[in-house]
Chain A
Amino acid sequence: MTQITTANTVQMTMIQAINDAMKMELERDENVLIFGEDVGHNGGVFRATEGLQETFGEHRVFDTPLAESGLGGLAIGLGLQGFRPVAEIQFFGFMFETIDSIANQAARMRFRSGGKFHSPITFRSPYGGGVKTPENHADSLEGLMLQTPGVKVVIPSNPYDAKGLLISSIRDNDPVIFLEHMKLYRSFRAEVPIGEYTVPIGVAKVVREGDDVTIITYGAMVHTSLDAAEKMEKEQGIKAEVIDLRTISPIDIETIVKSIQKTNRAIVVQEAQKTAGVAAEVMAQINEEAMLYLEAPVLRVAPPDTVYPFAVIEDVWMPTPSRIIEYVNKMMNF
């Protein structure tokens, strides 16, 4: 249960913050609709929508038949009717079933209609490794979304950002893919303001300051990177700056460049396999915008280019603090 700590904030887990954001928006705007598999009476497989149908009724919060493509089309049709759909894809590994609605339809709606129609849809979806899911549940597929012009991709790493970014996503008049790392749902609590506030889409955040190296990351890897940074400072005196991208499409290159101007070294940490994807894109943009500030090539810490593995080896597959430290040292000694 949430526990009130001060007059204006409460301690919340990320899943509670996400639930709270949807509740605020359902209250604020009668056009907001929440739907997906099991999101109604059951409150979602992770309880993200718990209590919402009870409070707002079945005409606002409802179950869909078990068909991810169908629910994508439903969202587009409802968007055309002036609704603001928040559609849950139960696990992002199932997004391949929805991809036509996302990439061919929602992402192109504004263009195809010359601005006449739009798709103000938030596709919420759990993703991410380290929680021993069956196959096709944990994959980091966000890189595929980077090559989809017309959508924004948001990935919060903590309860405060999750609530503020989800409210921003729901209010956005363009499609937003809002990815929720499963490992972060209940792993810790943090202070979250009561009532509404927004965190802007497309703005990264420096979550730890430092002068020696910039670690650029997002999602659960923010915490892995922070662990690595603490250890490096304690054991080696290396002060790492950590940037939480928060939005991976578009990428806030300005915050990255500003940091590199100070640290002259950058490393990107991602949970997705190495090739292409967010890390590659960040490196490309650094190459375009900050090459002359660099004292060493930008490196990336990422799992090997395999499919997401079965649960028994996922913890060694994903980047660990010690692997991040190894790469940072390689760069410091360049």
Chain B
Amino acid sequence: MSQSTVQVYSDHSKVLSILDKDGKIINHDLFPQLSNERLIGLMKKMVFTRIWDERAIKLNRQGRLGLWAPVSGQEASMIGSEDALSIEDFILGSYRDIPQIVWHGLPLYQSFLYSRGHQHGGQIPEGVNVLMPQIIIGAQIIQAAGVALGFKLRNKKNVAIAYIGDGGTSQGDFYEGINFAGAYKVPAIFFVQNNQYAISVPINKQTAAETLAQKAVAAGIKGIQVDGMDVLAVHKAVSDAAERARNGEGPTLIEAITYRYGAHTMAGDDPKRYRNKEEEDEWKQKDPLIRFRKYLNENGLWNDIEEELVIEEAKKAIAEGIKMADETPKMTIPTLIDSMFEQTPLHLEKQKAEFIAMEGN
């Protein structure tokens, strides 16, 4: 067993990194103990997610998908972290964290329905341990403290993981949540995807803090920085943080340094207004898929044919998901009214009847 990265890297002097941008192992000691099958699985999920992102952007432009926050560039952070969890661990993500939520069990077509604003998108199936994506920046952090306290009170060896962006670490709820988690010493992971911009505001205008990981210090919890374009480093960091959490050692803040290639969301954001092509190209040199592909290729674990198969599989799954989303019955106002309370109160029953009388269902 390799040493815990959380202990070693929480002095904030260096960034945890295992594969360099050319796919060479630069940190043999920390290489995660994963089977070849598991390593290939990481690549498959990253390729699938890249295709999904490209397709989602197109579907959004065609008006066939609603809210979509592009994820390309962040696959290692997203896939590496989710893959390191156990199925009973609970994910509280933001609106960009749809891939982790889907890889954790939410059917793809439901994520499309969520994107379109259909209630069935949030009807998380039994046994899938995720919450619907959070819109309010920071709310998932304080809620994660509560979910994790629940695990602790029930003596469960599970972990709550909350995802947030760099901008989100400026929210009061971010500080409140990590402070609560530290005070109660709960099994939580706060995973910050520092993709350098909060919509348009760059990280150097967001905070004077040298790193986001060091915000953990004030809360008395461990914090580490990890190369968010390196799926193995992310996997290792989250595995170690989860192990600490399960052992009762408390929460960990992980800052994954990454980049989003696309717009903030598909609702009119134009990254050209706040960053330049040189910068984008520089980050694309560090691409998570390229480096991991190189590593797998060199070790005989991956080839073009396998990649093609995943791409085809992804396209097929997305097409099927869209079809299922299209075929889902439309939401109605009476259903909306009945989803406000366990028992619809009289005044709402009256409003429902009035609506049906005038508009039908």
Q: Which of B28-36, B68-76, B297-305, B339-347 has 4 or more CB atoms under 8 Å from chain A?
A: B339-347
Question: Is A112 part of the contact surface with B, judged by Cβ < 8 Å?
Answer: yes
Residue of B nearest to A77 (CB): B146
Complexed CA–CA distance, A77 and B345 (Å): 26
Q: Are B119 and A114 in contact (CB under 8 A)?
A: yes
Q: Which residues of B contact A33 (CB under 8 A)?
A: 153
Residue of A nearest to B348 (CB): A250
Q: How far is the CB of A310 from chain B (nearest CB, A)?
A: 28
Q: Which residues of B contact A100 (CB under 8 A)?
A: 136, 139, 173
A110 with B132, Cβ < 8 A, contacts A65-B180, A70-B142, A70-B177 known: no
Complexed CA–CA distance, A81 and B187 (Å): 14
Q: Are A74 and B149 in contact (CB under 8 A)?
A: yes
Q: Which of B141, B146, B177, B346 contacts A75 (CB 8 A)?
A: B146
Question: Is A294 part of the contact surface with B, judged by Cβ < 8 Å?
Answer: no
Complexed CA–CA distance, A114 and B110 (Å): 12
Q: Which of A67, A110, A116, A152 contacts B179 (CB 8 A)?
A: A67
Q: Which of B120-128, B195-203, B256-264 has 4 or more CB atoms under 8 Å from chain A?
A: B120-128
The 5 closest A-B pairs by CB, nearest first: A77-B146, A73-B142, A81-B150, A70-B176, A114-B123
Q: Are B342 and A173 in contact (CB under 8 A)?
A: yes
Residues of chain B touching chain A, judged by Cβ–Cβ distance below 8 Å, are 90, 119-120, 122-124, 131-132, 136, 139, 141-151, 153-154, 160, 172-173, 176-177, 179-180, 183, 336, 339-342, 345-348
Question: Is A43 part of the contact surface with B, judged by Cβ < 8 Å?
Answer: no
With most chain B CB atoms within 10 A of its CB, the pick from A75, A81, A110, A202 is A81
Q: Which of B122, B143, B145, B347 contacts A116 (CB 8 A)?
A: B122
Proximity string of chain A (70-88) to chain B, C-beta cutoff 8 Å, 1 when within and 0 when not:
1111111111111100000
- A residues 13-69 in Cβ contact with B at 8 Å: 33, 59, 64-65, 67, 69
A73-B176, A104-B136 known; 15 new pairs, CB 8 Å cut-off, are A64-B180, A67-B176, A69-B142, A76-B142, A76-B146, A77-B146, A78-B147, A81-B154, A83-B153, A105-B139, A110-B342, A116-B123, A117-B124, A173-B342, A254-B346
Complexed CA–CA distance, A117 and B172 (Å): 25
Complexed CA–CA distance, A152 and B146 (Å): 22
Q: Are B149 and A78 in contact (CB under 8 A)?
A: yes
Q: Are B136 and A105 in contact (CB under 8 A)?
A: yes
Q: Are B150 and A78 in contact (CB under 8 A)?
A: yes
Q: Which residues of B contact A253 (CB under 8 A)?
A: 347
Question: Is A150 part of the contact surface with B, judged by Cβ < 8 Å?
Answer: yes
Complexed CA–CA distance, A59 and B177 (Å): 19
The contact size tier of chain A is 35 or more
Q: Are A111 and B146 in contact (CB under 8 A)?
A: no
Complexed CA–CA distance, A58 and B169 (Å): 31
18 contacts across the A-B interface (CB closer than 8 A): A59-B153, A65-B183, A67-B176, A67-B180, A70-B180, A73-B173, A77-B146, A78-B153, A100-B136, A100-B173, A110-B339, A111-B339, A112-B119, A112-B132, A113-B124, A115-B123, A251-B347, A254-B346
Q: How far is the CB of A175 from chain B (nearest CB, A)?
A: 10
Complexed CA–CA distance, A173 and B342 (Å): 7
Residues of chain A touching chain B, judged by Cβ–Cβ distance below 8 Å, are 33, 59, 64-65, 67, 69-83, 100-101, 104-105, 110-118, 149-150, 152, 172-174, 202, 250-251, 253-254
Complexed CA–CA distance, A133 and B177 (Å): 30
Complexed CA–CA distance, A135 and B141 (Å): 30
Q: Which of B147, B176, B346 contacts A80 (CB 8 A)?
A: B147
Q: How far is the CB of A26 from chain B (nearest CB, A)?
A: 14
With most chain A CB atoms within 10 A of its CB, the pick from B123, B160, B177, B339 is B339
A101 with B150, Cβ < 8 A, contacts A70-B177, A110-B342, A150-B340 known: no
Q: Which residues of B contact A149 (CB under 8 A)?
A: 340
Q: Which residues of A contact B142 (CB under 8 A)?
A: 69-70, 72-74, 76-77, 101
Q: Are B151 and A114 in contact (CB under 8 A)?
A: no
Q: Are A250 and B347 in contact (CB under 8 A)?
A: yes
